[in-house]
Chains A and B, each alone.
Chain A
Amino acid sequence: MTILEIQGLHKSYGNHTEVLRGINLQIEQGEFVGIIGPSGAGKSTLLRCINRLIDPSSGAIMIPRALAGLGADGAKADVLSLGAHELRLLRRKVGMVFQQFNIVKRLSVIENVLSGGLGYRPGLRSMLRIFSREEKRQALTNLKRVGLLDHAYKRADQLSGGEQQRVAIARTLMQEPAIILADEPVSSLDPKLSRVVLDILKRVCREDGITALVSLHTLELTREYADRVIGLRQGQVFFDGPTPNLTDAIVDSVYHRRD
């Protein structure tokens, strides 16, 4: 089943800098997709357009309406035309993992994980950081899945970088996501920790049938983890295919810059 269909996606800032120049992609459910490309190729922008943390200039991003809880009739919806409320419903089902982890360092680990469920629990109670026993149970379960149950009540800034990223993954799992967007999730970690984090990410995605779009900064990791690779160059898709098809020649031209 196609979970994400991107058609002619453009994004430009002002009149001059065009970051995305007509992206067309079709992502199937359950795929673990690696996105590669030189800095400035548009990897982060593409990922942020999907949950509209960045508003694209033109194009369409089609998702099953059911994904955003907008009905189960199999019809499609365009992310670009969702209203504020529908957008929040969609964001609940699209988890995001960041290069800088972006967890709240002054809150405890479990509070960080609980914050992943905010989209499901609007209202005063969650604003005051009051959570039910059931919510806490779910958070602890997710922490156990990333191997950090023992650290649940520590302050997040006491954890190492790799552990903080695992907290971020647990936070994402609270969303019960259908898609996870990971923007260079291991770029600030050493190779060993990178593998620990990617192992966990890939395992939870497989277990829960989550589709993952992961931008990665090294080919080695991409070849090791991705089922399918998308190569971006200057805002366009330059390569799209199963990982074994990614030859050295293609890699060279993806990273070849004409400046």
Chain B
Amino acid sequence: MERTAGGTGGLGKFAKQAYWGCTLARESGRKVVDDIFLEAPPAPKRGARFFVFLGLFLLLLFWSFQGAKVRPGELIQGIPQIASTLGRMLPPDFSKMTDAKSYYFPENLSLTALLLPVPLSESQARSKQRWWNNTFPQTILGATLETVQMALAGTFLALFVAFPLGFLAARNTTPHPLVYHALRTVLNFLRTIPDLALGLVFVSAVGLGAFAGTLALAIHTATVLGKLLSESVENIDEGIVEAIRATGAGYAQILSFAVLPQILPDLISFTLYRLETNIRAASVLGLIGAGGIGYLMSTSFRTFQYQEAAAIVIVLIALVMLVDSLSSRLRNLVV
């Protein structure tokens, strides 16, 4: 027991461990357990510092709960209120699925002319465009499709920007350290802007509608994907880069043969993940008039059309679940 006694301050814990070791050894009739503890170097002491951190962490938690005004009592009192709101949402009203207040089916167009790219006269083309741009997005179906389109277009645009950014903003593939630092700073700054704020900026720039929302999604996603990809590039096996460099390959060839194959699984799964996130984000952007199903939902709630709102929420849930399962299937297929 000399080592224990000689330890500084940590006597309590280690002595206890050794003590239990002795008891165990006596009970099992073997001295081995005891001996190995004495032979081994003293175990690292967790001791006082651990409890200080634990205490600070608990204080932080308490402070957060207070600031967030977490009061379970009010929640319990509010349960009947929740129930009555939910009750008013039943049964969901799906009538707006393909119908809108100012809905009309363009009389001068056949269904095929409306859906397929066929040659049209000027007036036909105009009413077709009006139907797609103004009428159809007011239906739940139309707004849902618009949401999906916004998410797809936004993610694709983002990937287009983020793909080169990933290489330029990674320490090991950047052409110059200055490029690396500059891009990292810009990306970090832009990423702190919420997509709702970006949406407001673009609504004022390009007007209400899906384009503003798509731009907001694209910018925000580009910064997130750029950062994720650059980190993925930094984690690659440098040995392969060395091997390709040793063949006399140039910069672009090294990226194509040594780096890209290694980050490809990350590239695909990050992009699909952001696509899922963007479906949700696109449905919120409607609140500020930047297109998508969120606009219909907020209108329904504000006009107390709870049954209609319920239908929208259900469609939204189905959409998100569908995209989740599709993208996970796609991921398994390619990764």
B2-10, B242-250, B319-327: which lies at the A interface?
B242-250
Are B240 and A175 touching (Cβ within 8 A)? Answer: no
Chain B, interface residues (CB within 8 Å), range: 20 to 34
- Cα distance A147–B237 in the bound complex, in angstroms: 27
As a 0/1 sequence over residues 212 to 247 of chain B, the CB contacts with chain A under 8 angstroms (1 = contact) are 000000000000000000000000010110111111
Given known pairs A100-B239, A129-B256, the reply for A118 and B244 (CB within 8 Å) is: yes
Tell whether B161 is near chain A: CB-to-CB under 8 Å.
no
Tell whether B57 is near chain A: CB-to-CB under 8 Å.
no
Chain B residues with CB under 8 Å of A43's CB are none
A73-81, A87-95, A203-211, A235-243: which lies at the B interface?
A87-95
User: Can you name the residue of chain B whose Cβ is closest to the Cβ of A127?
Assistant: B256
- Cα distance A105–B262 in the bound complex, in angstroms: 8
Partner pick for A122 among B237, B242, B244, B250, CB 8 A cutoff: B250
Are A104 and B240 touching (Cβ within 8 A)? Answer: yes
- Cα distance A98–B246 in the bound complex, in angstroms: 11
Chain A residues with CB under 8 Å of B133's CB are none
Are A106 and B247 touching (Cβ within 8 A)? Answer: no
Chain B residues with CB under 8 Å of A106's CB are 261-262, 264-265
Tell whether B304 is near chain A: CB-to-CB under 8 Å.
no
Tell whether A33 is near chain B: CB-to-CB under 8 Å.
no
As a 0/1 sequence over residues 23 to 37 of chain B, the CB contacts with chain A under 8 angstroms (1 = contact) are 000000000000000
User: Can you name the residue of chain B whose Cβ is closest to the Cβ of A122?
Assistant: B250
Chain A, interface residues (CB within 8 Å), range: 20 to 34
Given known pairs A89-B248, A119-B248, A175-B248, the reply for A96 and B253 (CB within 8 Å) is: no
Chain A residues with CB under 8 Å of B258's CB are 104
Are A115 and B257 touching (Cβ within 8 A)? Answer: yes
CB under 8 Å from chain B, chain A span 150-180 = 168, 171-172, 174-175
Are A88 and B256 touching (Cβ within 8 A)? Answer: no
Ranked nearest first, the 10 interchain pairs of A and B with the lowest CB-CB distance are A119-B248, A91-B248, A102-B243, A92-B248, A118-B249, A96-B246, A102-B239, A106-B261, A127-B256, A88-B248
29 contacts between A and B (CB under 8 A): A51-B246, A91-B248, A92-B247, A94-B246, A95-B246, A96-B246, A102-B240, A102-B242, A104-B257, A104-B262, A105-B261, A106-B265, A107-B261, A115-B244, A116-B247, A118-B249, A118-B250, A118-B253, A118-B257, A119-B247, A119-B249, A120-B248, A127-B252, A127-B253, A127-B256, A128-B256, A129-B256, A168-B243, A171-B243
A105-B261, A122-B250, A127-B252 given; name 6 further pairs at CB < 8 Å: A91-B245, A102-B239, A103-B240, A104-B262, A115-B244, A116-B247
